Amino acid sequence: MPLVELYFHPMQVHPSVARNLAVLLTVWVSRELSVDEADGQLTEDDVEVRVRGKDASLDAETKYVVQVTVWAKYYKAREAKVDEAAAKILNSVKRLLIEEGVSGRAFVYILLSPAGFAEAEF
């Protein structure tokens, strides 16, 4: 289950745009990080996105209007395409922001590491 943290600058990115971006990130991340290894296939429901507005009063002159950090379980096949995946996700983020009239800078950072996952329903 990849975890995605989306930071946005609220003076430059409207919260509704950030919410839309969060929904689309589940699609983009699942598509780009899905691999044909045991438990490596992803769907949109497998991606958890946390959205946070940056405190504009503390960071009025930020370099980035959007920052996306993805934590995902390491798979050799995922490692082989991590730079390409980050570039594709960033390109999708950029297209959406341009369509919404947002200008500035953004980044996507993907971190892969060994991980365990347990889930409970109660």
Kindly report, residue by residue over 14-70, the tens digit of the pLDDT. 999 999 999 999 999 999 999 998 889 999 999 999 999 876 665 556 689 999 999
User: Virtual CA dihedral for 20, 22, 28, 33, nearest 10 degrees?
Assistant: -170
Per-residue confidence (pLDDT) for residue 61, from 0 to 100:
63
Backbone angles phi, psi at 118, to 5 degrees: -135, 145
Domain ranges of the chain: 3-113
Percentage of the residues of the chain whose pLDDT score is greater than 90:
81
E strand or H helix that includes residue 76: helix 76-80
Per-residue confidence (pLDDT) for residue 118, from 0 to 100:
87
pLDDT: is 118 or 19 the higher one? 19
Q: Tokens 């971190």 identify what position?
A: 111
**Strand order from edge to edge, sheet including 106-113:** 48-53, 3-8, 66-73, 106-113
Identify the CATH assignment for 3-113 out of 3.30.360.10, 3.90.1150.10, 3.30.429.10, 3.40.50.920.
3.30.429.10
Per-residue confidence (pLDDT) for residue 53, from 0 to 100:
86
Q: Single out the residue of 75, 73, 80, 78 nearest to residue 118, CA to CA.
A: 73
Q: How high is the mean pLDDT of the chain?
A: 93
Q: Which residues, at least 6 apart from 56, have a Cβ–Cβ distance to it below 8 Å?
A: 9, 10, 11
Q: How many CB atoms lie within 10 A of CB 24?
A: 17
Res. 85 pLDDT band, cuts 50 70 90: very high
